[in-house]
Copies of this chain bind each other. A is one copy, B any other.
Amino acid sequence: MPGEFDLIARYFTRHAARDDVALGVGDDAALLRPPPGQVLAATVDTLIAGVHFPEQTDPADIGHKALAVNLSDLAAMGAEPAWVMLALSLPRVDDSWLHAFAEGFHALAARHRVALVGGDTTRGPLSITVQALGWVPEGQALRRDGARPGDGLYVTGTLGDAGLGLAVLQGRAEVPPQYREALCARLNRPEPRVEAGLALRGVASAAIDISDGLAADLGHLLVASGVGGRVALDRLPRGDAVRAADAHGRLALTAGDDYELVFALPAGQERALAALADRLPPLSCIGRVEAEPGLRLVDADDNPVAFSHQGYDHFREF
């Protein structure tokens, strides 16, 4: 384990371990006791300074977001998060930065009862890789490939807030001052939809989280399921600020970093979904799954709307 330097132990072990952690930070590997009869869900995501966040972002926000994007992936599988590992590359040891980063990380971890069980710190350009492990009962995971023609398409919460927040921060957009803080919070402190993912087990036929924009991520779900879809632009859920800035819904369709869930609901499951209302954020039915491949956008009168877009891709400039 090159270069550990005890930073992980110093900054990241303050919380009591879960009783399924046999051995946490400090050995060559963590030792974990999986619950019987469940399937392990494992995901990894990296955030890099200058690519995923501006270099000067509040380190507490970076700590929050590095964990949030991984918990969001588990949420999209319907998995219950349990354990995470942190690989942190830092240009230098900066105590106040590390303290704030750890605060942001741990506050979110504590809310989801997630234990940090290991990690690695190295000298290098600022970069954070988190690997998250969780559990889902056999056969109940929300995969991408289960959507079928006739299923309804739903999203949680509102879309476009994080994208508008980024545009505001970068000086590309202006919003009334009362919206500014909330939009930036959507960008910097996304709330992974863990509870929603758990509630949708056995109800949704497929799900994915929206990190690269609805069109891109829903596109992944439709392709994985071998189907297509129709989405009504006017049904995309938008907050007041996004609605004012984006009358046509393009921001809600393409902006990334919202970390809401989009899922497919088989016909006949509407009542089951309604019964979950108290465990779910506001939901919007935005369209339906169709047999013909591709994503079709329509207006309020079901007329086609042309669009071209590839979502956010970190390699697109090459």
Contacts and interface: CB of A to CB of B under 8 A. Distances in A.
A230 interface: no
Contact of A46 (B7, B89, B144): B89
A79 interface: yes
Given A23-B143, A89-B127, A314-B123, A2 B45 contact: yes
Interface in A39-55: 39-48, 50-52
A212 interface: yes
A32 B40 contact: yes
Interface in A78-94: 79, 83, 85-87, 89, 92-93
A318 interface: yes
Contacts of A312: 2-3
A163 interface: no
Contact of A131 (B1, B7, B131): B131
Contact of A73 (B1, B209, B212): B1
A303 to B, nearest CB: 33
Q: Could you say how many copies of this chain the assembly holds?
A: 2
Interface in A195-238: 207-209, 211-212, 224
Contacts of A28: 43, 73-74, 76-77, 144, 207-209
A83 B43 CA distance: 12
Contact of A87 (B93, B124, B129, B144): B129
A183 interface: no
A278 interface: no
A304 interface: no
User: A-B pairs with the 5 shortest C-beta distances?
Assistant: A3-B314, A48-B124, A29-B43, A28-B76, A29-B41
Interface of A: 1-3, 5, 7, 22-23, 26-34, 36, 39-48, 50-52, 69, 73-74, 76-77, 79, 83, 85-87, 89, 92-93, 117-125, 127, 129, 131-134, 136, 141, 143-145, 207-209, 211-212, 224, 256, 312-315, 318
15 contacts: A2-B69, A27-B143, A28-B76, A29-B77, A29-B134, A30-B42, A31-B40, A42-B133, A43-B118, A44-B120, A46-B87, A48-B123, A92-B318, A123-B315, A125-B125
